[in-house]
Amino acid sequence: MSKRLAVLCLCLAVASPAAAVTAIRAGRLVDPETGRAAVNQVILIDGEKISAVGNVAIPDGAEVIDLSDATVLPGLVDAHTHLGITYKDIPEHDYYYLTYVMESTPLRAIQAASNGIQLLNSGFTVVRDLGNNALYADTAHRQAIEQGWIPGPTIVNSGIIIGSRGGQFWPTPEMEKYKGIVYPEYLDADTRDEIVKAVRENMLFGAKVIKICVDCKPWGYSVDDMKLFVEEAARAGLKVAGHVQTPEGANRAIEAGIWSIEHGIALTEEHHKKMAAKGIFLASTDTPFTDYSSTKERFDKTVAQLKSAWKNGVKITFSTDMDYYKTGNPMNRGELTINFLKTWKAAGIPNADTLKAMTITGYQCAGVEKERGPIKPGLAADLIAVKRNPLDDIDALRDVRFVMKDGMVFKRDGVMTPEKFFHAGPVKGWNKR
C-alpha cells in the first residue's frame, strides 16, 4: 500500500462512525464446556467478534437483540459431512458412482452452497467437509462464504480424498486406465513419493484437512505411510482424517497417530481405549434408524459402539456422513443432520456430553477453537438460540430460532434473514484459497 493511500484509509477510519455494537439479551446462556447455564446474561458484539459476556451494561446506542425468552448457546458442528454430493434412490439407486458421472463440479458446488445454507439454518456454524466434492467444489464453496458472497458455515474442507489406487471405487481396467474414471473423486497415491505429491496437490488447491482412505482396499496404508501423511500435512499446519472400515486399519491408524478416525463401524472397545489414551478424535458418523436410513441390526451396533466410545472417554464429535436423499422425504439437510440425535439418545449419552460433542469437541477436531466456537470475548460472534434448554432436553436443538454468524444475523424468530450475507465483491478481501 502506498503511503498516501494508507493515510487516506486512516482518515476514512477516523471519519466513519464506530462499528455498531450489538447487545444480545439471553434469558439463558449455556456453556457446553461446563455443562451449565446462567440466566439473564448479556453478550456484546463488536463487528464480527464477541467483546463481552456476562452481567455487563449495554452501551448507549447499541442495537439490542432480545432473546430473553430463549436459550442461547454456541453454534453446532458436524465433524464429518459431504456438502457437495447427494446420491439418490432415483435415478441412481443410491449408487454414487453414478452421481459422480451425472453431476458436474459446478452443479455440485451450487448444491454445496444450498446444503451449507440449510445447515446454517439448523444451527451448524462449523463443518468438516470431508471429500467427494468433485474437482474442489468444496474449496470454491468455502471461498465464496469467506469472501462474503453467500451465507454458510465455517468450512474445514479436505479437497480430494487420497487413497491407494482406485480410492473407494473398484473400476474396470478400461475405465480406470484409459478414461481416468477415479479422478477427481479420489486422488491416487501408492508410493511414498506419490503420498507427498498428493498431499501437496490438495494443499495447493485449498484443502484445510487431509482426508485419506486408510483401508478402502485390502492392502491399505501402512503405519509408515500414514506417518508420512501426518508429517507432510503438518508442514502447512494441516491434520489427517482417516476413513477406517476394518479393525486392522483402525489399529494402524491409531498406531500412526492420525488426528481423527472417520466412521466407528470397525471399532472395538480396545480401539476406543487406545484412541482415548492417544487423544485421537472420533467422527463415528452414527446413522439413525429411520425410514430413509440404516436397519435395526446396523443401528443397534452403531448405538453400542457410540456408547462404548463415550464410556471409554474417546474425544467424540457429532458427525453424520450425510450425503443421500430419499425421494419423498420432506426433510432438508439441516433436519437430516440434526436427526442423528436419535442415535445419541438411544446410546443413553447425557445431554451435556452430547452438547459438548456437538460444540467444544467439534471445534477442537476442526481446529477452529482459537478463532470461533465458545461464546467468549475475542472469538467470532457465532451463536444460536432455541426455545428450551438442551441440557434438559437435547431435542430442543431441533428447533433453532436464531442464528448469528460472524456477528451478522442469519435467522431471527425462526425465519432466515440472510440479506447481510450477500455482497457484490469480496468484502473480506480477496482470499487466494
Q: Residue 221 CB, nearest distance to Zn ion (Å)? A: 17
Task: Tell the smallest beta-carbon distance from residue 71 to Zn ion (Å).
Answer: 31
| 214 in Cβ contact with 242 (< 8 Å) | yes
Set of cell numbers at residue 344: 445419541
Residue closer to Zn ion by CB (options 131, 334) is 131
Nearest to 130 by CA among 286, 223, 243: 243
Its sign, for the CA torsion 190, 194, 196, 197, is negative
**52/130 with CB nearer Zn ion:** 130
Secondary structure letter of residue 235 according to DSSP: T
Q: Which residue is nearest to Zn ion (CB)?
A: 321
* Nearest distance from C-beta of residue 302 to Zn ion, angstroms: 15
> Containing H/E element for 409?
strand 408-412
Map the footprint of Zn ion across residues 18-37, applying CB under 5 A: none
Q: Cβ atoms within 10 A of the Cβ of 41, count?
A: 22
Binding to Zn ion (CB under 5 A): which residues in 220-239? none
* End-to-end CA separation in angstroms for the chain: 22
CB of 287 to Zn ion, least distance (A): 11
Residue 200: half-sphere exposure toward Cβ, Cα within 13 Å = 6
Instruction: Please tell me the distance from the alpha carbon of residue 390 to that of residue 103, in angstroms, as a whole number.
Output: 39
Interface with Zn ion (CB under 5 A), residue total: 1
Calculate the alpha carbon distances from 364 to 123, 171, 177, 221, 239 in Å.
18, 37, 40, 26, 11
Q: Which is nearer to Zn ion, 82 or 142 (CB)?
A: 82
Judged by beta carbon, residue 242 or residue 373, the one nearer Zn ion is: 242
**Cell (9 digits) for 345:** 439418545
Check whether the bond before 91 is cis (ω within 30° of 0).
yes
What are the distances in angstroms from CA 82 to CA 112, 184, 331? Answer: 8, 15, 17
Q: Fill in the DSSP letter of residue 291.
A: T
Residue among 138 and 321 whose Cβ is closer to Zn ion: 321
What SS3 state is found at 282?
strand
Q: Which is nearer to Zn ion, 263 or 405 (CB)?
A: 263
Q: From the CB of 262, what's the least distance to Zn ion, in Å?
A: 6
In contact, 126 and 142? CB cutoff 8 Å:
no
The footprint of Zn ion on residues 146-205 (CB under 5 A) is none
Question: Which of these, 317, 309, 313, lies nearest to 362 by C-alpha position?
Answer: 317
In angstroms, what is the minimal distance from the CB of 82 to Zn ion?
Answer: 6
Cβ distance to Zn ion smaller for residue 208 or 401: 208
Subset of residues 283 to 342 that bind Zn ion, contact rule: CB under 5 A:
321
> Nearer Cβ to Zn ion, position 263 or 342?
263
Q: How far is the CB of 321 from Zn ion (least distance, A)?
A: 4
Task: Tell me the C-alpha distance between 14 and 159, whole Å.
Answer: 42
Q: Report the residue number, 324 or 402, with the smaller CB distance to Zn ion.
A: 324
Strands (E), 159-279: 161-163, 186-188, 210-213, 240-243, 260-262
Nearer to Zn ion, 321 or 382 (CB): 321
* Least distance in angstroms from the C-beta of 264 to Zn ion: 12
Q: Which residues contact 350 (CB under 8 A, 6 or more apart)?
A: none
CB of 412 to Zn ion, least distance (A): 33
The total of other beta-carbon atoms located within 10 Å of residue 192's CB is: 12
Q: How far is the CB of 66 from Zn ion (least distance, A)?
A: 40
Residue with cell 434438559: 392
Q: Is 215 in the site for Zn ion (CB under 5 A)?
A: no
Q: For binding to Zn ion (CB under 5 A), which residues are involved?
A: 321
